[in-house]
């Protein structure tokens, strides 16, 4: 019985710690926290669907070595996603600098993150397009209008950035 209580304490302690960290991050990042969370989920889904699409292509083309699982491609995909996170971090740094310089100049800016949100949403839309493409490679019918709508949204964010 003592072991059960220990496990419950550790489990509740871990859940409490995750909740506390999430609350702290939300307090610091605002709405950007949720967008980053959705991006993280999309990155995982994109990676999994990419692997499944490669497996499907290997099944469809068993004699062609150009298709199939490739650890180099997988590693390259992970490195690319780390690059996304680095660029998002830079955008967040720009937001931080703008906020603090404005504060030092006596200007009040209520938006905590502008560039961080724009860049993160742009990458989120990029991941959504990739997931749709991967699903198509797996043989799932993909509505063209959905793919086009996401591409239009991504282009609108690019235009806003300019």
Domain boundaries, the chain: 30-161
CA distance 92 to 114: 8
CA distance 116 to 37: 13
Phi and psi, residue 40, nearest 5°: -60, -45
Q: Residue 151: pLDDT above 90? A: no
CA distance 60 to 62: 6
What contacts 157, CB < 8 A, 6 or more positions away?
A: 118, 121, 122, 125
pLDDT of 42-60, one tens digit each?
A: 999 999 999 999 888 888 7
Q: Is the distance from CB of 59 to CB of 144 less than 8 angstroms?
A: no
CA distance 69 to 111: 44
**For the purposes of burial, counting CB atoms within 10 Å of the CB of 56, is it exposed (0-12), middle (13-18) or buried (19 or more)?**
middle
pLDDT recorded at residue 63:
73
| Entry pTM | 0.75
pLDDT of 128-141, one tens digit each?
A: 999 999 999 999 99
């Amino acid at each position: 019985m003592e072991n059960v209580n220990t496990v419950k304490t550790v489990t509740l302690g871990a859940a409490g710690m995750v909740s506390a960290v999430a609350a702290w991050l939300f307090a610091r990042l605002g709405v950007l926290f949720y967008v980053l969370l959705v991006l993280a989920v999309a990155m995982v889904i994109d990676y999994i669907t990419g692997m499944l699409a490669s497996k499907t292509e290997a099944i469809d083309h068993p004699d062609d070595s150009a298709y199939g699982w490739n650890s180099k491609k997988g590693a390259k995909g992970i490195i690319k996603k780390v690059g996304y996170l680095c660029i998002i971090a830079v955008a967040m740094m720009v937001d931080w600098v703008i906020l603090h310089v404005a504060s030092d100049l006596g200007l009040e800016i209520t938006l905590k993150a502008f560039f961080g949100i724009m860049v993160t949403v742009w990458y989120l839309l990029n991941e959504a397009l990739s997931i749709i493409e991967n699903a198509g490679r797996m043989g799932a019918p993909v509505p063209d209008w959905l793919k086009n709508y996401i591409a239009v949204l991504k282009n609108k964010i690019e235009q806003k950035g300019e």
